[in-house]
Structure 1
Amino acid sequence: MNKRTFLKTSSVLAAGVAFPQLFSCKEKMPPRTNWAGNLTYSTDNLYTPKTVAELQETIKKVKKVRGLGTKHCFNKIADSTENQISTAEFNKIISLDKDKNTVTVESGIKYGELCKYLDDNGYALFNLASLPHISVAGACATATHGSGIKNGNLASTVVALEFVNGKGEIVNLSKEKDGDEFGMAVVNLGALGIVTKITLALQPTFQMKQIVYQNLPMAALEKDFEAIMSIGYSVSLFTDWKNKNISEVWIKSKAEDIKEIAPEFYGAKIATKNLHPIEALDAINCTEQMGVAGPWYERMPHFKMGFTPSSGKELQSEFFIPFENAYAGLMAIEQLNEKVSPHLFITEVRAIAGDELPMSPMYKKTCVAFHFTWKQETEEVLKVLPFIEEALAPFNPRPHWGKIFTLKPSVLQSRIEKLADFKTLMTKHDPEGKFRNEFIDLNLFGA
């Protein structure tokens, strides 16, 4: 089997959500790929409705369909062999409620397009992912996250959402009125319908500083993992699994909380220039470091809002385990350093607060996340992943819904406490299974 055939047929690889062509109706197009280029989508049929009415009409007339956002997934979660619907035209800010401290936006808007508006109006989001170029609905549907032991994933700030279900009906759910059904629908994997708008909780705007340290011995994490991950508003550890070393520690803090910058941090030394997470790469597109204050949205991501990343020749995987197992999980992966390092660009270690969203990997538990940015060596990565999954098995790891994993469906399903309830909700809103695809069928229903 050649590489192209493998990527089109693999049940665990080939990815995500696509930069849409701005057509108001279906168009015949050249083959489209995800951001990383590791997937060619399985259909040429892409719809880009401009109104909810057009979206309803499209959903009613097709037999099978999946939604597309900004193509930053690395597996087949958004793929379809028949039809895809882009939310590119659903990209507006609808309203800002200063009484309830919420903002309502259309689903396809990118975080980078929303943040300055919020800041100009005195508000901030609670968290951002490392890239600000992803759509709000896509990020929430897959429980995408930033970092911070007290910060939930991006979906945890959703307080209301609207979607068009498999019957073409407009459905509105809110945290206040719809309780369990709402919570079940937020991290929806695109399996209930196409989200059209989302309401997010806000906090007052703030200034932020980012400080980077280099070469933290992994041994320092054995007794002080929680203290290290709690030192800032958001903390990220980067390692290539060589020499039992954390190559970089990125600490993002509210400016008011930084009184002075220490030259050392648990044995790590303060960086003397801006750094890329992969030290050998130019940091020009990374957010400002060196303790320079700036708006929250210009510090919380790792990469600048104004910089749109080109197709990244990489693959990504990520696994979540309970935070209390963080150091044990770290050491379990470290034992695999000779298998992992040759195929790796970098691993990022983050903490994420627990939430009340049943399909989220952080459901009811604060987690540590091990995020692997791989070289685009598909066959080799697929061989390494089972070793990582097995090493973390004592801690019941959950994968990121939008990244590459090889867990057996039965094992994954056993780790989703309320999977039966989610399937019931799928039947309610999509009785004909229009939004089911290979990824959903395999991972939620497969043996």
Structure 2
Amino acid sequence: MKNWAENIEYTATRVARPRNLDELGELVLANSRVKALGSRHSFNLCGDTTGTLLDMSAFDSTVEVHGETVRVAAGGTFSHVVEALARTELALPNLASLPHISVAGAVQTGTHGSGVRNPALSASVTAFEMMRSDGTIGRFTRGTSEFDACVVGIGALGIVTALELHCVPGFSIAQSVYLDMPWEAALGSWDELSECAYSVSVFTKYVGDTIPQVWAKRRVGDPEGLDPAALGARQAQEALHPLPGVRPDNVTVQFGEAGPWYERLPHFRSNFKPGRGDEIQSEYLVPSSAARDATEALRRIGDRISPLLHVSEIRTVAPDAAWLSPSGDRQSTAFHFTWQSKPREVAHVVPLVEQALAPFAPRPHWGKVFAMSGAELREVFPRLAEFSILARQLDPTSKFSNEYLDGVL
């Protein structure tokens, strides 16, 4: 069994597909090593185990709306949540670029969208339930002592069985794409560019004098921000995919045409069902105060990394309070790398990226490819050592551990 990108082959001796809490509990109790898999959109071994893999694709995916809260069971994806909220006047504050990922997996690994006032997706969680190694269910509610420690838990503490997300009133977004923005102008007005819309994505390969694409998703009714055209860019007159040369059939509507939040915040349409991704991904988040310097550091190695890049996306993420969130406690700029599907070559170039970003305390996305050691991770995640102690307390027999977590913790 492989992950979505097929760069990882799991080492499990058995795959089981629990459909409900009873079946899940039986499997957790019956096996010394277990690991849950959601949409398999992680690019490293965080979801691996030498024991039994629990494929949650058959698990309950019920979505229920209660007042301003939406509850989603562990089998649910953001597409499932969107389908339920589309029938209401409610919305989630933000979405990831691909809505087909599992909610539980995205939250546990610190996944985010974009926007200077939009924190990671875990910031919308008001409560979640998790099966412990003894088969019991613990409930964690925002504001309690363990919530911030566990909400981004990289699968080390148990198996998330349900989450409750806070909703906001529904809103509309108008998305526009801008081409060939000069780097000099962009870096000179980086803060203004990052704030020019509700969500902003810069797509580049760190070579040349211009940025190929800037995607600006403006919330209808918000004050007008900087017009990217003022920085020398031109607005695209045809639909574009963020990856050069790829047909735009599955991207969300562009051209500044307003539409519901769920049809514009992701880069890709919810009714598009992605098969295997011919790519490998890495991502690092640095303090936004260092965004310009970090960008320039990557541009200095652009000629060395661009031959292996499909594209890189730069986004801004607001701070949150989760212990292991890559954007925890600091306004962050995220540098996302979509590499060609060449695992050996990627393994050689990732340390080069980490070396370039090292002066800026980079934090990796937990579900993507990185080379940082446990010691290096403890330098940039101040509460990682504390989290390691908590993991031993909640999982004393290391039922949920694996080689990846041994290296991290």
What band does the TM-score fall into relative to the shorter chain?
A: over 0.9
| Greater mean deviation of Cα atoms: 137-146 or 102-111 | 102-111
- Alpha-carbon distance, 1:338 to partner: 1.2
Q: Which amino acid counterpart does residue 84 of structure 1 have in structure 2?
A: L
* Structure 1 unmatched runs, 5+: 1-31
Residue 95 (structure 1) aligned with residue 64 (structure 2)? yes
Tell me the alpha carbon deviations over residues 95-115 of structure 1, each in whole angstroms, 9 at most, x when there is no partner.
3221xx111110220111211
Q: 2:269: which partner in 1?
A: 304
Code of the residue aligned with 1:83 in structure 2: it is T
Distance 1:36 1:377 in 2: 11
Identity of aligned residues (%): 39
Alignment partner, residue 55 of structure 1 = 24
Report the alpha carbon displacement of residue 59 of structure 1 after superposing the two structures with TM. 0.7
Letter in 2 for 1:204: P
Q: 1:260 to 1:76 in 2, by over 3 A?
A: closer
Does the aligned pair in 2 maintain the 1:149–1:234 contact within 8 Å?
yes
Residue identity opposite 2:55 in structure 1: S
Instruction: For 1:49, give the aligned amino acid.
Output: P
Residue in 2 aligned with 1:132?
99
From 117, 122, 131, give the equivalent of 1:164: 131
1:355 corresponds to: 320
Selected match of 1:295 from 260, 264, 267: 260
- CA distance in 2: counterparts of 1:354 and 1:67, whole angstroms: 28
Structure 1 residue 310, shift from structure 2 partner: 1.6
In the alignment, the residues of structure 2 paired with residue 90 and residue 253 of structure 1 have an alpha-carbon distance, to the nearest angstrom, of 36
Deviation at 1:46, TM superposition (A): 1.3
Q: How does 1:338-417 map to 2 (within 5 A)?
A: 338-417=303-382
Q: Aligned to 2:6, which of 29, 37, 55?
A: 37
Q: Deviations over 1:42-63 (max 9, x none)?
A: 1241121122122111111100
CA distance in 1: counterparts of 2:8 and 2:61, whole angstroms:
29
Instruction: Tell whether 2:78 aligns with 1:111.
Output: yes
Encode CA deviations 1:50-99: one digit per residue, 9 max, x unaligned: 2212211111110011110001110000011211112223343353221x
Q: Closer, same or farther in 2 for the Cα pair 1:338/1:260, shift >3 Å?
A: closer
1:316-355 aligned within 5 A: 316-355=281-320
Matched ranges for 1:242-281 at <5 A: 242-257=207-222, 264-281=229-246
**Aligned mates of 1:402, 1:244 — CA distance in 2:** 32
| Residue identity matched to 1:402 | G
Q: In the alignment, residue 244 of structure 1 is paired with which amino acid?
A: D
Select the residue among 65, 77, 81 that pairs with 2:34. 65
Amino acid in the other structure paired with 2:289: E
Q: Choose which of 431, 434, 441 in structure 1 pairs with 2:396.
A: 431
Q: 1:153 corresponds to which letter in structure 2? A: A
The Cα shift of 1:159 comes to 0.7
SS at match of 2:96: coil
Equivalent position of 1:235 in the other structure:
200
Give the direction of change, closer, same or farther, for the CA distance of 1:94–1:277 in structure 2 (3 Å limit).
closer
Cα RMSD between the aligned structures?
A: 1.6
Show the counterpart of 1:198: 163
- Residue 151 (str. 1) matches residue 151 (str. 2): no
Structure 1 runs, 4 residues or longer, greater than 6 Å off: 258-261
C-alpha separation in 1, matches of 2:223 and 2:141: 37
Q: Does 1:420 align with 2:385?
A: yes
Cα 1:84–1:437, aligned 2, differ >3 Å: closer, same or farther? same
